Amino acid sequence: ELRNLYPFITEDNTFTVVVEKDGRGLGMSVCGGAGLVRIRRLYPPQPAWRTGRLAPRDLLLAANGVPLAGLSTYEALEVLRTAATRVELRVCRPPSDALESLTPPDPPTPPVRTPPPPHL
CATH code of the domain covering residue 18: 2.30.42.10
Instruction: State the virtual CA torsion across 74, 31, 85, 10 in degrees, nearest 10.
Output: 120
107 occurs within a structural domain: no
Q: What is the pLDDT of residue 106?
A: 46
Distances 69 to 1, 42, 62, 82 between C-alpha atoms, Å: 10, 20, 7, 17
How much is the pLDDT for 9? Answer: 92
For residue 116, tell me if it sits in a domain.
no
In terms of pLDDT, which residue wins out, 109 or 25?
Answer: 25
At residue 29, the 3 state secondary structure works out as strand
CB-CB neighbours of 14 under 10 Å: 16
Please say whether the dihedral angle defined by the alpha carbons of residues 96, 14, 37 and 48, taken in this order, is positive or negative.
negative
Is 31 part of any domain?
Answer: yes
Q: Is residue 104 part of a domain?
A: no
Flag whether 49 is in a domain: yes
Query: Taking CA 86 as the corner, what is the angle to CA 42 and CA 11, rounded to the nearest 5 degrees?
Result: 70
- Report how many domains make up the chain: 1
Q: Quick one: average pLDDT of 90-106?
A: 73
pLDDT of 105 reads: 45
pLDDT for position 38: 94
pLDDT band for position 56 (50/70/90)?
Answer: very high
Q: Which domain does 28 fall in, by range? A: 2-94
